[in-house]
Structure 1
């Protein structure tokens, strides 16, 4: 038996890639679609201090719905002008003025948004990544009260509690031990915040699919456990 998530109807959802949670509407197992308007990562993220370079000559014309700033970023990191970017190039684009996104989070974003499953992103995939990040940035800023670019044990606990998760301090100690950045006063940076929320949401969705009576407790086989594990790594 496994005792799990006890509260299914409070807080704000943390969707895996369809948009950041909206605090007023919560379904911990549902997905909130992002707002129809795209407003850009830089506008909402105080940690982004660079300005996008002008787009260089590119053999792939920009899509008709492009955002000029994003197209500039895309072209800047697409060094071979292939119209696709790799994980390393995506990491360069996500550099936030303090330090680069860690590669584990970058790889997670590639897996979520690479529509072709080729290990590379076209511009439309790239645009969706920045839309996703801009929305999570607004959430992160609500808890990063000192604007340091990292949040503490108490702040991550407050954030996840507001999302509807009712978890013990033991869980948060594990989270901080696994994800806190020792170079940033053992706090959790924005890239790891995204990773935690996406993984936790995916675990919760898998749990919910088996918790048919919404008791917060399930009984699973070893193989089911392994399937869940490999579906979220």
Structure 2
């Protein structure tokens, strides 16, 4: 089975490598392309509104970036790392990320984003792990803003399905309804940026766990009861 996520972008779409055309085989992409998502736009928000995604500008006060590190990523890391520990917590990340209405991201989204790259389960990430997360945040934000056509700060069911398709997740309308039900905390049947990112983290985490077990790339796996519980616990949003 071919996992989406490694194909060419849609014709006419200037997105980064790793985006595939809707209708690609499968229904879930695998791991990101080597080196993360390239060509991500710089932080910025809606015209005339707050910079959706980031609450403030990078300070840039710690000097230059280490060799091979994107200077902008380094500046954002320094801005978010408020206690200057060299590592970022979910709380620090939450303080740096906002929705289009200036409301901070919910804490669970930030915890899940940290957990994506927290290899030693310390609850924090270092500069290299943050670099990978930063590229994901940029891409998710760019996708969200693309489908939030009316700049309302939220996307509806049909927009969410199109956003997933662009990322290679070919899922049914019924699944979209389930996602909306799960992550819409305000009963509006829409997702704000942080809830959209939370859903993307969940899908990516479960996809990665599924793919690790799908050694023959058939799109089907057999799980023991405990293995299923482990997937559910580790990837519980």
Residues of 2 paired with 1:207 and 1:73: CA distance? 32
Name the residue aligned to 1:227.
Answer: 230
Count the aligned residue pairs. 217
Change (3 A) 1:120 1:20: farther
Name the residue aligned to 2:148.
Answer: 144
Change (3 A) 1:232 1:38: same
Name the residue aligned to 2:172.
Answer: 168
RMSD, matched Cα: 3.7
Residues of 1 paired with 2:128 and 2:220: CA distance? 40
Change (3 A) 1:29 1:70: closer
Mean Cα deviation higher: 122-131 or 170-179? 122-131
Residues of 2 paired with 1:29 and 1:201: CA distance? 8
Change (3 A) 1:70 1:92: farther
Residues of 1 paired with 2:145 and 2:65: CA distance? 31
Cα drift, residue 136 of structure 1: 1.9
CA contact (8 A) 2:55 2:97 kept: no
Name the residue aligned to 2:98.
Answer: 95
Larger radius of gyration: 1
Change (3 A) 1:197 1:20: farther
Between 1 and 2, higher relative CO (CA 8 Å, sep ≥ 6) is seen in: 1
Name the residue aligned to 2:66.
Answer: 64
CA contact (8 A) 2:19 2:167 kept: no
Mean Cα deviation higher: 89-98 or 25-34? 25-34
The structure whose residues are more often helix, as a share, is 1
Cα drift, residue 156 of structure 1: 0.9
State the secondary structure of the residue aligned to 1:104: helix
Cα drift, residue 71 of structure 1: 4.9
Residues of 1 paired with 2:197 and 2:125: CA distance? 19
After the TM superposition, which residues 105-144 of structure 1 pair with which residues of structure 2 at under 5 Å, given as runs? 105-114=109-118, 117-144=121-148
Which deviations, in whole Å up to 9, do the C-alpha atoms of 1:63-84 show, x marking residues without a partner? 4356665555444443433333
Mean Cα deviation higher: 93-102 or 22-31? 22-31
Cα drift, residue 35 of structure 1: 4.6
CA contact (8 A) 2:5 2:32 kept: no
Match 1:207 to one of 210, 213, 229: 210
Cα drift, residue 47 of structure 1: 1.9
Change (3 A) 1:84 1:20: farther
Q: Normalised by the size of structure 2, how large is the TM-score?
A: 0.70
Name the residue aligned to 1:3.
Answer: none
Gaps of 5+ in 2: 8-15
Change (3 A) 1:80 1:166: closer
State the secondary structure of the residue aligned to 1:41: coil
Match 1:22 to one of 7, 16, 19: 19
Q: Normalised by the size of structure 1, how large is the TM-score?
A: 0.71
